[in-house]
């Protein structure tokens, strides 16, 4: 399993538009991708689950990636977070 922490910098947090973009990006990989915020986890491939986390600007999330393409997925997902969230 690969993990990385990231502080959300989007001024409105992980709302509908960026959550939708995140789902599209996560679905590119076979690995399971989970977003963890304060002990609550959500599947990054399911927008409704992501929205229930209520992630706001300046809050930290942990991204957990496990599966057959976890190495590539971890690198690409971290890049996605830095460029979009």
Q: Is 19 designated active site?
A: no
Instruction: Enumerate helices (H) and strands (E) in the chain, giving the number of each.
Output: 3, 4
DSSP 3-state of 54: coil
Q: Given 4, 6, 15, 43, which residue is catalytic?
A: 15
* Dist. CA 77–CA 83, nearest whole Å: 10
Q: Which residues are catalytic?
A: 15
């Amino acid at each position: 399993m690969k993990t990385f922490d990231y502080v959300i910098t989007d001024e409105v947090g992980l709302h509908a538009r960026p959550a939708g973009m995140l789902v599209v990006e996560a679905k590119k990989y076979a690995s399971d991708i989970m977003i963890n915020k304060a002990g609550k986890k959500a599947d990054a491939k399911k927008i409704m689950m992501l929205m229930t986390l209520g992630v706001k600007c300046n809050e930290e999330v942990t991204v957990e990636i496990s599966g057959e393409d976890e190495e590539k997925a971890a690198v690409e997902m971290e890049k996605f977070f830095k460029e979009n969230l």
